[in-house]
Chains A and B, each alone.
Chain A
Amino acid sequence: MPAVSMTVNGKAVRAEVDSRTLLVQFLRETLRLTGTHVGCDTSQCGACVVHVDGVAVKSCAMLAVQAEGAEVLTIEGVATGEALHPMQEAFRQNHGLQCGYCTPGMIMTALDIVRRKGHELDDQTIREELEGNLCRCTGYHNIVKSIAAGARAMASGDPALKAAE
């Protein structure tokens, strides 16, 4: 079995894996980081989105061995210590989640949207950017609100206040 090493949420990890192990399986089963979810088998739902070398990818459409040497960020690594990330706080303040299953992927996607599109996000932009993230609970309404608020809060650096609008 090939060995793979990478950095996950700032920690160096190394393991031997069956080459057919997907990155998502590696995260969930080998590292027991179960915040990254699996919602489909066609790489369409986005529940598995993580960041690899700073960009959002679907961890169900990448082999673990392909992440050799990469920096991986999962939902577990988003908050710093006890403090929630402004985007996480925004989801809470704006009721951007119900069952929570799509939420990690939504938040990881949201952070990537902000990276690419900045802090002032209009509704339509957010909705189009969520092309690859399915939610069955919220009707997306409050997810869109959460992302807009979270993006603004990230600019101000004041999580609690800004996220609440």
Chain B
Amino acid sequence: MYEFTYHRASGLRQATNLLGKHEEAKLIAGGQSLLPMMKFRLASPSDLVDLNKIEGLNGIELTSRALVIGALARHAEVHVSPEVQQGIPALAALAGLIGDPAVRHRGTLGGSLANNDPTADYPAAALALGATIVTTKRKIPADEFFAGLFETVLEADEIITKVSFPLPKKAAYQKFRNPASRYAIVGVFVAKRPSEVRVAVTGAGASGAFRVPEFEAALQKRFSPKALDGLSVPAEGLASDIHASAEYRAHLVGVMARRAVAAANG
């Protein structure tokens, strides 16, 4: 790691000010993505602004229309939360598939979305569920939030405070793990919402999570795995590495989507 100055923020305003004051400052939440990157010297913030002691950022609230989860909610909390299990069980299940138990005790929802790792799980859920990311400055629809590999539309001094997930009628997530890193080679989140069906894919895209309009249209007509027969995503533009070629990923998107629909139908 390079040297940095550590700040323990006690409130959002202080945190925002610190971010504004130091150009190379970065927030730290769970640290499960940032610290490994800093250890490899791939990130070199001059200052770290720690969100962990800020009160009120980890609440989980279930209303009649949405599930609202604080940015600092740990993956482990989301996984076992009765509110999440009742409101969007697929999201609780997804949280339980992130990394391992110790990672889940630290890693946060806000950190995961802000990090926008192309193989992370939460971005697929945010897109498929039509989530709204609430920050210290504004409310951003998930469709507009992600901006390419490890990039989001967040400004340098903008902090995610919570995320609102509208309740779907049905949803499920299927993850096919990278055997080494355990992130998703392909993860597909399918949500049947009151007005539409959404299918979001993580792991496969060369520039981050994406939706599959063709699948969505087909499932809109008939929410059944059969509806996806004969449909596939093109391999062009998908990620390719030693663990999965683009063709393999394209194939897996279809398999995982069918399995997700089947799981959502119970």
Contact = CB atoms under 8 A, between A and B. Distances in A.
- A adjacent to B, CB under 8 Å: yes
Interface of A: 2, 18-20, 22, 41-44, 46, 49, 55-58, 61-63, 65-66, 68, 109, 112-113, 116, 129, 131-133
24 contacts: A18-B3, A19-B4, A19-B5, A20-B2, A43-B35, A43-B36, A44-B181, A46-B100, A57-B106, A58-B106, A61-B31, A61-B32, A61-B36, A61-B103, A62-B106, A63-B28, A63-B48, A66-B28, A66-B52, A68-B8, A112-B102, A116-B101, A132-B102, A133-B100
Interface of B is mostly: mixed
B6 interface: yes
A57 B6 contact: no
Interface in B9-42: 28, 31-32, 35-36, 38-40
B1 A20 contact: yes
Interface of B: 1-6, 8, 28, 31-32, 35-36, 38-40, 48, 50, 52, 76, 80, 99-103, 105-106, 181-182
Given A66-B50, A131-B182, A58 B103 contact: yes
A61 B35 contact: yes
Given A22-B35, A44-B181, 17 more contacts: A43-B103, A44-B182, A57-B105, A57-B106, A61-B32, A62-B106, A63-B28, A63-B35, A66-B31, A66-B52, A113-B101, A116-B80, A129-B101, A131-B100, A131-B182, A132-B99, A132-B100
A129 B31 CA distance: 21
B6 A65 contact: yes
B3 A62 contact: no
A44 B182 CA distance: 10
Nearest to B50: A66
A63 B6 contact: yes
A63 B35 CA distance: 8
